[in-house]
Amino acid sequence: MNQTQTSTGPILTTDGIPLKVSLKKAERINKIRAFLLVLPLLAFILITFLVPIGDMLARSVDDRQINTVFPKTFEVYKKWDRQGLPSEEVYKTMFFELKNSEGYAVGKASTRMNYSKSGWKSLLKKSKRKFKKIEEGPFKEQMIAIDKKWADPEYWLALGQMVDPTTMGYYLNAVDLKYDSSKNIVQQKENRRIYNKTWIKTFKVSLLVTLFCLLLGYPISYLLATLPMKYSNLLMICVLLPFWTSLLVRTVAWMVMLQQKGVLNNLLVMSNLLADENRFQLMYNQTAVVIVMTQILLPFMVLPLYSVMKTISPTYMRAALNLGASPMHAFYKIYMPNSIPGVSAGCLLVFIIAIGYYITPELVGGKDGQMVGNWIAYHLKTTLNWGLCASLGAILLAMMTVLYWAYNKIVGIENIKLG
Amino acid sequence: MSQKDSFVKFEKVDKSYDGEILVVKDLNLDVPKGEFLTMLGPSGSGKTTVLMMLAGFETPTSGEIYLDGNPISSIPPNKRGIGMVFQNYALFPHMTVKENLAFPLEVRKMQKSEIDEKVGNALAMVELQDFGNRMPLQLSGGQQQRVALARSLVFEPRLVLMDEPLGALDKNLREQMQYEIKHIHEKIGITVVYVTHDQSEALTMSNRIAVFNDGKIQQISSPDVLYEKPNSSFVAQFIGENNQLKGKVKSINGENCIVTTESGDDIHALKINVNNNGDGSLVSLRPERVAINSSENFENNFDAKVKELIYLGDHIRSRVEVCGNDQFIVKIPNSYKEENLKEGSTVKLSWKASDSRALDLN
């Protein structure tokens, strides 16, 4: 009994420390050293990638802005029964908070309030100016005298959406929904529904671009992988050449090619294949976006495909032929299944890049070719509605995560090969 | 051999890849039905090219190949019905063992039940019944090799080609597989053309061996003849261990001749491919045919100085200096006992004239 106990006890090193402990100790220094090596990169990723994404996600639901300008108003507002107009107390706190706050803060808050009910912004601007003359109450009548909107319950009801420090309003906005004044989710007005169409368009364009990249990229990758070195190197340079050319130059070149009086149409007209009045509309629409993005993203399909195809031994095809399969059958049954990791890697890569693409739709898309990325840029730079930008971005991120998850379930992420 | 007997026939076949160098030169070869023919040669000797032409992956630059009497140069590889075992097996990695074996049967549009039966038989032949549902990469090298062998046989081809199929296996497994392939060949009586650069593999398995060098067959004969009676110094050197004594032909007497070495010793040898007095010659002699301190009366008797002795268990390998060659190897049988055999001592070597072969200078 005693003997078995000693034999099952922990293995000791010669100085009596359990082997596992001293092994850990010996490996700890290596681990720390390895960690220190990747620390700069880790910090870089944290600061430039994870923190901004976290900030974006926070912004997409953040509604504190307004609560910092009108905290007391919201306190008394909560007691209101939402029937008729609010009490004198609500008007009074609103009056003082507006009068005493800084113009900059009011500007930001009013922008937010305008998302809930348009008209708030001008109302606050006008009121703040005129409030200076008013010294004492009752405030309700005096405020209504300044602007009749103060007597409109709709404006007061719209404030109710902003009481919570977080909101789903931006997300609703991003899919053509909104809160009504009693905080029910309803559809946007017909003429303001733009995002669902944009989402569908973005998906459609991304799928088409991925499909065309695959159709064009597969044969060229096959050639690259199977041709003798001297030809395949030349071909590889042709594939990579676009990578070395500025994106803008390439896009503008396409504009020259595709416009109505451009190279392609002119050639067709000159060769009498096309009547002068029937020139194709190939620029400033979705067609243009698909054509140009396919060209730009093609290398992202070719490179993973090539790297996988390079590993498919030519003897597989020989073996299949030897066993009696026709060349087509051998290709379909043997070569294609073995190239699947490259196909899926290429498709995933192209689709991910395409779905958030901005510059090409902006330049060649016209009104019809705008994608989600363009709306994000528009709200970021023009309307300054960062909450909506953040929610659009977060939805994109969520979609990619779902896609990645589905891909992992179906194909397995370990099958991906990027080179 | 008559035309009827020859199942595979190469007729004046040349092959060039670049239009400048012929990798196969004027090849004429007949393989009768049921034979196990090995093409043996160093790399670059053209043996694999010959196999590829037979399989249909390369076309002859000139000449014609016949299979069962019909010219096949214009038939694509998938219509030839020839089985092949590739160097790295070429098992389809995305298919199970069973699916790999069923592939050639499916492309021939066989019934499902027939396919299952044949696949089962093929797996049983290579004793892999329990591995049908594994993927090729889950098998060991030897098992993969056997699957490849089974796949090349499952559709009952007329001819099986093997391109260095054992090259990737370790030594023990290679020897074991040599016997397995030999037994399968004997059992089903199929014609096999086998390519290797390993001479012991060739000697073990083949009915006949064709030794290739420089795009040509140097000698084609059964393993024992090839070993015992090489007809060129290349073959003598390439197959087995071999002693060579360099000299000039002194006199020719019918089947025999005398070659004088640079050290002035006259060696009695068989005249194989030397023609005239004064020609340079390499006399080739197998180490195990040399007797040490023998009382028998052989034509060749020389004193030799022992340079090195290595005890190898079943025999003592000794390097001696004789007739001006200090790399001369003698295999002394384990039963030979003599106290004064040590490095530096002088011994008497003797061998028959019929065991030494006067070959070209190469």
Of the CA atoms within 13 Å of residue B143, those in its CB half-sphere come to 16
Phi, psi dihedrals of residue B192, rounded to the nearest 5°: -125, 130
CB of B76 within 8 Å of any CB in chain A? yes
Q: Are residues A6 and A49 in the same domain?
A: yes
Sheet with strand B159-163: strands edge to edge:
B82-85, B159-163, B191-196, B36-40, B208-213, B216-221
Q: Are residues B143 and B74 in the same domain?
A: yes
Mean pLDDT, chain A, rounded, equals: 87
Residue B271, beta-bridge partner list: B358
Q: Are residues B34 and B142 in the same domain?
A: yes
Q: Are residues B271 and B253 in the same domain?
A: yes
By C-alpha distance, the chain A residue nearest B88 is A315
- Residues A243-255: what's their mean pLDDT? 88
User: B181, B212, B233: which is the final residue of a domain?
Assistant: B233
Q: Are residues A237 and A295 in the same domain?
A: yes
CB of B18 within 8 Å of any CB in chain A? no
Alpha helices in B90-245 (DSSP H): 97-106, 112-125, 141-153, 171-188, 199-205, 223-228, 233-238
Q: Do B94 and A337 touch (CB under 8 A)?
A: yes
Q: Are residues B10 and B153 in the same domain?
A: yes
Task: For residue A202, tell me if it sits in a domain.
Answer: yes
Strands (E), B49-132: 62-67, 70-71, 82-85
CB of A219 within 8 Å of any CB in chain B? no
CB-CB neighbors (< 8 A) of B86 in chain A: 315, 318-319
Task: For residue A232, tell me if it sits in a domain.
Answer: yes
Q: Are residues B168 and B309 in the same domain?
A: no
A181 pLDDT exceeds 80? no
pLDDT of amino acid B120:
94
Task: For residue B107, tell me if it sits in a domain.
Answer: yes
pLDDT of amino acid A140:
84
Task: For residue B95, tell me if it sits in a domain.
Answer: yes
Q: Are residues A70 and A128 in the same domain?
A: yes
Q: Are residues A140 and A264 in the same domain?
A: no
Task: For residue B21, tell me if it sits in a domain.
Answer: yes
Count of CB atoms within 10 A of residue A15's CB? 6
- Residues A314-322: what's their mean pLDDT? 93
Q: Do B76 and A330 touch (CB under 8 A)?
A: no
Chain A, 334 to 353: residues with Cβ < 8 Å from chain B are 334, 337-338
Q: Are residues B160 and B14 in the same domain?
A: yes
CB of B103 within 8 Å of any CB in chain A? yes
CB of B66 within 8 Å of any CB in chain A? no
A208 pLDDT exceeds 90? yes
Closest CA to B322 of B337, B300, B338, B339: B300
CB of A320 within 8 Å of any CB in chain B? yes
Q: Are residues A409 and A305 in the same domain?
A: yes
Q: Are residues A212 and A352 in the same domain?
A: yes
Task: For residue B19, tell me if it sits in a domain.
Answer: yes
Phi, psi dihedrals of residue A87, rounded to the nearest 5°: -80, 170
CB of A333 within 8 Å of any CB in chain B? yes
Task: For residue A11, tell me if it sits in a domain.
Answer: yes
CB-CB neighbors (< 8 A) of B84 in chain A: 319, 322
Distance CA B219, CA B226 (A): 8
Task: For residue B296, tell me if it sits in a domain.
Answer: yes
Count of CB atoms within 10 A of residue A175's CB? 16
Count of CB atoms within 10 A of residue A236's CB? 16
Residue A179: enclosing H or E segment and its boundaries? strand A177-179
By the 10 Å C-beta count (0-12 exposed, 13-18 middle, 19+ buried), B60 is classed as buried
Identify which of A316, A324, A327 has the shortest CB distance to residue B155.
Answer: A324
CB of B83 within 8 Å of any CB in chain A? yes
Task: For residue A151, tell me if it sits in a domain.
Answer: yes
Residue B267, beta-bridge partner list: B259
CB of B287 within 8 Å of any CB in chain A? no
Pairing of strands B6-16, B22-32: antiparallel
Task: For residue B331, tell me if it sits in a domain.
Answer: yes
pLDDT per residue over A72-119, tens digit each?
Answer: 888 888 888 888 888 888 888 888 888 888 888 888 888 888 888 888
B343 pLDDT exceeds 80? yes
Q: What is the CATH number of the domain that holds B196?
A: 3.40.50.300
- Copy the structure tokens of residue B124: 């049983």
Question: Is B43 in contact with B213 (CB distance < 8 Å)?
Answer: no
Closest CA to A395 of A62, A63, A171: A171
Interface residue of A230, A309, A322, A331 to substitute, partner B, most B CBs within 10 Å:
A322
- Copy the structure tokens of residue B314: 């079943």
In this structure, of A162-166, A174-178, A207-211, B101-105, the range with the lowest mean pLDDT score is: A162-166
By C-alpha distance, the chain A residue nearest B148 is A319
Task: For residue B23, tell me if it sits in a domain.
Answer: yes
Q: What is the CA radius of gyration of chain B?
A: 25
B1 pLDDT exceeds 70? no
- Residues A23-51: what's their mean pLDDT? 91
Closest CA to B201 of B17, B25, B39: B39
Give the alpha-carbon dihedral of A88, A91, A93, A96, to 10 degrees: -120
Q: Are residues B22 and B168 in the same domain?
A: yes
Locus of tokens 């992956």: B57
Residue A182, beta-bridge partner list: none
CB-CB neighbors (< 8 A) of A330 in chain B: 78
Q: Are residues B201 and B341 in the same domain?
A: no
By C-alpha distance, the chain B residue nearest A327 is B78
A1 pLDDT exceeds 60? no
Closest CA to B104 of A85, A333, A30: A333
Q: Do B81 and A321 touch (CB under 8 A)?
A: no
CB of A321 within 8 Å of any CB in chain B? yes
pLDDT of amino acid A384:
85
Q: Are residues A359 and A405 in the same domain?
A: yes
User: B233, B251, B279: which is the final residue of a domain?
Assistant: B233
Q: Are residues A13 and A77 in the same domain?
A: no
Q: Which residue has the higher pLDDT, B220 or A126?
A: B220
Count of domains forming chain A: 3
Q: Are residues A312 and A347 in the same domain?
A: yes
Count of domains forming chain B: 2
pLDDT of amino acid B362:
67
Q: Do A321 and B77 touch (CB under 8 A)?
A: yes
CA distance A53 to chain B (A): 39
Task: For residue B1, tell me if it sits in a domain.
Answer: no
A419 pLDDT exceeds 60? no
Q: Are residues A231 and A319 in the same domain?
A: yes
B172 pLDDT exceeds 90? no
By C-alpha distance, the chain A residue nearest B154 is A323
Q: Which structural domain, as residue segments, surrounds residue B228?
A: 6-233
Q: Are residues A123 and A256 in the same domain?
A: no
Q: Do B90 and A315 touch (CB under 8 A)?
A: yes
CB of B19 within 8 Å of any CB in chain A? no
pLDDT of amino acid B2:
44
Q: Are residues B256 and B223 in the same domain?
A: no
pLDDT per residue over B218-254, tens digit each?
Answer: 999 999 999 988 888 899 888 888 898 888 898 888 8
Identify which of A313, A329, A337 has the shortest CB distance to residue B107.
Answer: A329
CA distance A218 to chain B (A): 20
> Model ipTM?
0.83
Angle among Cα A225, A231, A233 to the nearest 5 degrees reads 70
State pTM to two decimals.
Answer: 0.79
Task: For residue A177, tell me if it sits in a domain.
Answer: no
pLDDT of amino acid A122:
87
Q: Do B88 and A324 touch (CB under 8 A)?
A: no
Q: Are residues B108 and B184 in the same domain?
A: yes
CB-CB neighbors (< 8 A) of B83 in chain A: 322-323
Per cent of chain A over pLDDT 70 is 96
State whether residue B332 is helix, strand or coil: strand
Distance CA B86, CA A399 (A): 46
Q: Do B104 and A333 touch (CB under 8 A)?
A: no
Closest CA to B240 of B181, B174, B285, B182: B285
CB of B55 within 8 Å of any CB in chain A? yes
Q: Which structural domain, as residue segments, surrounds residue A10?
A: 2-59
CB of A399 within 8 Å of any CB in chain B? no
pLDDT per residue over B131-157, tens digit each?
Answer: 999 999 999 988 999 999 999 999 999
Q: Are residues A9 and A143 in the same domain?
A: no
Pairing of strands B159-163, B191-196: parallel
User: B213, B233, B253: which is the final residue of a domain?
Assistant: B233
Q: What is the CATH number of the domain that holds B290?
A: 2.40.50.140
pLDDT of amino acid A415:
65
CB of B84 within 8 Å of any CB in chain A? yes
